[in-house]
Amino acid sequence: MRKNAVWCIPCTFFLIACALNLIGCILGTNLSEVVKPALLPLLSATTLAYLLGRDAPDIRPVGLLVAAQLFGCAGDVLLIPDGFPFFAGGIAAFLVGHIFYMSLLGGQSWKGLTVWQWAISVFAMAAIVLGLVKAIGIEGALFWPMTVYGFVLMLLIFSALAGVLRMPRGSRATWWILLAGALLFTFSDACIAMGMFGVMTFALRHFVVMFTYLAAQTLLAVGGVRLILGR
């Protein structure tokens, strides 16, 4: 097998694991939880195999992308058991993962932004996040942690959107992919929050959460790889 096709092996297992996870969500069985810990490691293996087959020019962005995925794996595992400590640990792991994603994207898309552009953007993002947190009904001890988490997610969206608006036309497809991934991640987390606080529940909510989450992680991986390879 050619070196640059080795990534197809972990990718195949990743797609199988995704399918099993989503089937478990539909059937309401613990199959989804059994395969969940394998999802992001398989995506990371696919990412690394693909990049190593194409001689990525710089190891630092590769490290940022893989670190974001592995912290996502930690979040997946910690959110499986019930209990506040596991929930808090899972959210913290995802928060760190978002920071790694944001570092990868923002390292390129933030360049040249003025202080006023930053100030206006931060004010707008903070207002949006506070409004959403209030609308969902998050109160008490969770208010500020969830607000900080939401703000970091909004920064991730901002990083991708800045790339769409500011990067050369030839690379905008990559930034659109990253923006779609960031938006789907936010939608997935919003569905979780609205279900937890009783704002919105619907049939197959867990399926929708996992489908959009897996789509988000896949799009961020594809966009991240394209960004690293300069496409």
Half-sphere exposure of 93 toward its Cβ, with a 13 Å CA cutoff?
Answer: 18
**172-211: pLDDT as tens digits:** 899 999 999 999 999 999 888 877 776 667 668 889 999 9
Question: What pLDDT does residue 198 have?
Answer: 64
The answer to whether residue 1 scores a pLDDT higher than 50 is no
Return the top range by mean pLDDT from 35-39, 122-126, 127-131.
35-39
What are the Cα distances from residue 111, in Å, to 114, 115, 144? 9, 12, 29
Residue with tokens 């994207």: 105
As a whole number, the mean pLDDT across the chain is: 88
What are the Cα distances from residue 81, in Å, to 17, 34, 88, 125? 20, 12, 11, 32
CA distance 231 to 225: 9
221: pLDDT confidence band, cut at 50, 70 and 90? very high
Contact 177, 226 (CB under 8 A): yes
